[in-house]
Amino acid sequence: MSSTFVGMPAFPEAARAAVDDPTLRANLRHATHTIRAKRARAVAELADWAGLRAAGRRIKDHTLRHLDRYLEQLEASVTGAGGTVHWAADADEANRIVAGLVKETGESEVVKVKSMATQEIGLNEALEAEGIRAYETDLAELIVQLGKDRPSHILVPAIHRNRGEIRDIFAHEMAAWGRPAPENLTDTPADLAEAARLHLREKFLRAKVGISGANFMVAETGTLVVVESEGNGRMCLTLPETLISVVGIEKIVPTWRDLEVFLQTLPRSATAERMNPYTSTWTGTTDEDGPRAFHLVLLDNGRTDALADRVGRQALRCIRCSACLNVCPVYERAGGHAYGSVYPGPIGAILTPQLRGTASEIDASLPYASSLCGACYEVCPVAIDIPEVLVHLRERVVEGGPAVRRGNKVVLRPARGHAAERAAMRAAAWAFGHPSALRTGQRLASRSRRLHPRALPGPGRAWSGTRDLPAVPAEPFRDWWLRTRGGKDAK
Amino acid sequence: MRVALFLTCVNDALYPETGKAVVKLLTRLGVEVDFPMGQTCCGQAHYNTGYRHEAEPLARRFAEVFGEYEAVVTPSGSCGAMVRELYPRMGERARAEGRGDSLARTLAPVVPRTYELTEFLVDVLGVTDVGAWYPHTVTYHPTCHGLRGLGLGERPHRLLAAVRGLDLVELPGAEECCGFGGTFAVKNAAVSAAMGADKVRNAESTGAEVLCAADNSCLMHIGGTLSRLRAGVRPVHIAEILASTEEDPAL
């Protein structure tokens, strides 16, 4: 499987393949149901959860409203603490900056902390093209990288793999990347973790350059924060001589007091932990401790465009906890790869079409990858109304209209492939505006009901391939009402 | 109290028995129900598929047709949520688009007066025992827009628990979506069908004869799946159960 998402089929087609894969279905069902139940218990422990959720929302909304000011404050704080700040408008610019910084050190390999932003910009591939090898050190990202696979979950990128598959990947692939897996590797969690530990340890001790993202950036002090479970991130953040962090501009919180809210809501929402095992914070550079050079690459890559959208901008509150993925019935059956983006699930379905636009077939199909059941909104720790944004983006797909692309105001044209649907919607709206015509249609349907097939041909198979059609009644309700005066006369 | 039945377009055309059951039930409880003939569709399918502007005239029609009533009762959680949750949002969006307050002002009066059936029974009429008799084993599926949109909570359970002869059994994974989702059912047919099949398996595992819900759109999908999979469970709208009596029993 390719490690990029270029040329992805639209969501429904990719999802169909996943639905038909029994191993994948079983892996996903087991994993999402387990974490779903744990999260519910962890959240229920806090009496003030609703208050924390509201506070998280307010802090993020405030920060986004004044993002220009907080970004400049952050730049000043980071610079004052000995770091260097770079601004990247898009993925290409960010990749060029990072590749240039690595080359300046004279190194040809880097160790990486798990990072969504660097996945989003395809940093590993860009570095590879410049002769620089990037080693993923998060256990799940390592599994994905060794398996020449793609991540399928924000927090648990190898959620689609079971232990047996992971054992096979380690046994067959580790040798090509460094220390091979031990002989006779079993699929017990302890053995798999030990194999990864030995393999990664040599990378940590050798690397001179580390690359990370960040969960938060505190504007008042210029402090970056990474929360993780394994400690591998901390290895990358502390051992190398040079640290480069690529972070989306929406990751700012104004103060440490604001950070406190998210350090409560993120672990409980993400891994169902009261507190995550490793919380690393660093502010610029410190003499004789940790990296001697620190570079912060602030990434836009569509975020300012999303910020310009009154409805869509709430997606920028996201703290990447994945609670919406774990609770989503569509994600559970379609799997993460079907979303064609490093951001899968409900949040991906509203984030990707805003960051990348809706021009491609996969991106235009994402807003429809939901039954609008609302489970995602219910669990979101920053109260992103994902169904609201999905419907808003559907409107953008079918109607086009004003949007901002790369900082410029544009008027989008309606996406292709919706002509028949648009005609049907308009026809239905006309009929619903003319009750007498509607009644004639209902009567026709009722009178011809013995001729109705139980299954439909052509596009109708989308319904009747798996579901019988309801039988049309002999008489629509409104005819009964008129005939019996609302049941007052004989039935 | 002048009470109107908003039956919904799907029930009018495909599930008239649900409408008759609501009339029978409310009449039995002493409520005079009217069915304004000008009613058609709330616009939910249009709105949720991205055709908000096409949904606007339907919302205006709704507000005009039902404007004079003190309460509008609908046997559909999703259509109820459309009016209560999304009509105010449509007004807001029109305002944000520089089209003034006209839509918001037109829609505002009907929003708080629109009730889903179980809400109307429990909150407005203040009854949970509606005098029904239904000697069957029933499991209840809380549909998403009723559950998470309107926050119906325990109301349907309380009503069902008070029905004589009814054995209410819990549905595993009850709060998971059945996979209908309006146009989602055909736009993402494979995922929708997989969700429906899982819902059916859970319903079958309860041993219930009847799967009950407060929304026939979801029941159309679940019922179509039940029948295709030849499962021994029947889909029945909650109104038909609550309307059923010993003198005039429902199936």
pTM listed for this prediction: 0.96
- pLDDT-derived band at A488 (thresholds 50, 70, 90) equals confident
Domain ranges of chain A: 46-299, 434-484
Task: Tell me, yes or no, whether B120 and B175 share the same domain.
Answer: no
Dihedral angle, C-alpha A160, A166, A169, A172, nearest 10 °: -160
The owner of tokens 């395809």 is A122
Chains A, B: CB contacts within 8 A come to: 200
Q: What is the mean pLDDT of residues B24-47?
A: 96
What pLDDT digit, counting tens, does each position of A187-200 carry?
A: 999 999 999 999 99
Strands B234-237 and B210-213: parallel
CATH homologous superfamily of A46-299 = NagB/RpiA/CoA transferase-like (3.40.50.10420)
What pLDDT digit, counting tens, does each position of A31-42 carry?
A: 999 999 999 999
Asked whether residue B155 is domain-assigned, the answer is: yes
Asked whether residue B250 is domain-assigned, the answer is: no
Q: Which two tokens stand for residue A31?
A: 């994993």
Helix (H, G, I), strand (E, B) or coil at A203: helix
Asked whether residue B97 is domain-assigned, the answer is: yes
Among A22-26, A392-396, B206-210, the range scoring the smallest mean pLDDT is A22-26
Give the residue from B125, B146, B164 where a domain finishes.
Answer: B125
| CATH code of the domain covering residue B46 | 3.40.50
Is the pLDDT at A238 greater than 90, yes or no? yes
Asked whether residue B85 is domain-assigned, the answer is: yes
Give the residue from B125, B157, B177 where a domain finishes.
Answer: B125
Give the residue from B97, B125, B153 where a domain finishes.
Answer: B125
Task: Tell me, yes or no, whether B9 and B111 share the same domain.
Answer: yes
Task: Tell me, yes or no, whether B147 and B110 share the same domain.
Answer: no
Task: Tell me, yes or no, whether B120 and B161 share the same domain.
Answer: no
Beta-carbon-side half-sphere exposure of residue B58 (alpha carbons within 13 Å): 29
Q: Which of B15, B46, B180 sits opposite A429 (nearest CB)?
A: B46
Task: Tell me, yes or no, whether B113 and B164 share the same domain.
Answer: no
Bridge partners, residue A286, by sequence:
A289
Is the pLDDT at B115 greater than 60, yes or no? yes
Asked whether residue B248 is domain-assigned, the answer is: no
Task: Tell me, yes or no, whether B206 and B233 share the same domain.
Answer: yes
Total count of domains within chain B: 2
Q: Which of residues 424-463 of A touch B (CB under 8 A)?
A: 425-426, 428-429, 431-433, 435, 438, 442, 445, 459, 462-463
Interchain contact, B37 vs A433, CB within 8 Å: no
Bridge partners, residue A111, by sequence:
A135, A210
What pLDDT digit, counting tens, does each position of A331-378 carry?
A: 999 999 999 999 999 999 999 999 999 989 999 999 999 999 999 999
- pLDDT-derived band at A326 (thresholds 50, 70, 90) equals very high
pLDDT at A6: 62
Task: Tell me, yes or no, whether B66 and B170 share the same domain.
Answer: no
Asked whether residue B249 is domain-assigned, the answer is: no
Interchain contact, A394 vs B49, CB within 8 Å: yes
Identify which of A115, A83, A113 has the alpha carbon closest to the alpha carbon of residue A236: A113
What pLDDT digit, counting tens, does each position of A132-188 carry?
A: 999 999 999 999 999 999 999 999 999 999 999 999 999 999 999 999 999 999 999
Phi-psi region of A184 (alpha: psi -120 to 50; beta: other; left: phi over 0): left
For residue B63, list chain A residues with Cβ-Cβ distance below 8 A: none
Task: Tell me, yes or no, whether B27 and B111 share the same domain.
Answer: yes
Bridge partners, residue A225, by sequence:
A216, A281
The span from the CA of A160 to the CA of B102, in Å, is 50
Element (H, E) at A91: helix A91-105
Asked whether residue B175 is domain-assigned, the answer is: yes
Instruction: For chain A, state the CA radius of gyration.
Output: 26
Task: Tell me, yes or no, whether B94 and B17 share the same domain.
Answer: yes
State residue B190 phi and psi, 5-degree precision.
-65, -45
- pLDDT-derived band at A3 (thresholds 50, 70, 90) equals very low
Interchain contact, A373 vs B15, CB within 8 Å: no
The span from the CA of A461 to the CA of A115, in Å, is 42
Asked whether residue B132 is domain-assigned, the answer is: no
Is the pLDDT at A1 greater than 50, yes or no? no
Element (H, E) at A212: strand A209-212
Q: Which of A333, A467, A487 sits opposite B224 (nearest CB)?
A: A467
What pLDDT digit, counting tens, does each position of B119-133 carry?
A: 999 999 999 999 999
pLDDT at A491: 60
Q: Which of residues 41-60 of A touch B (CB under 8 A)?
A: none
What pLDDT digit, counting tens, does each position of A295-310 carry?
A: 999 999 999 999 999 9
State residue A411 phi and psi, 5-degree precision.
-115, 115
Identify which of A299, A281, A287, A290 has the alpha carbon closest to the alpha carbon of residue A222: A281
The span from the CA of A208 to the CA of A338, in Å, is 36
Is the pLDDT at A110 greater than 70, yes or no? yes
Range of the domain at B64: 3-125
Q: Which two tokens stand for residue A281?
A: 């914070």
- pLDDT-derived band at A490 (thresholds 50, 70, 90) equals low
What pLDDT digit, counting tens, does each position of A395-440 carry?
A: 999 999 889 988 899 999 888 778 888 888 888 988 899 888 888 8
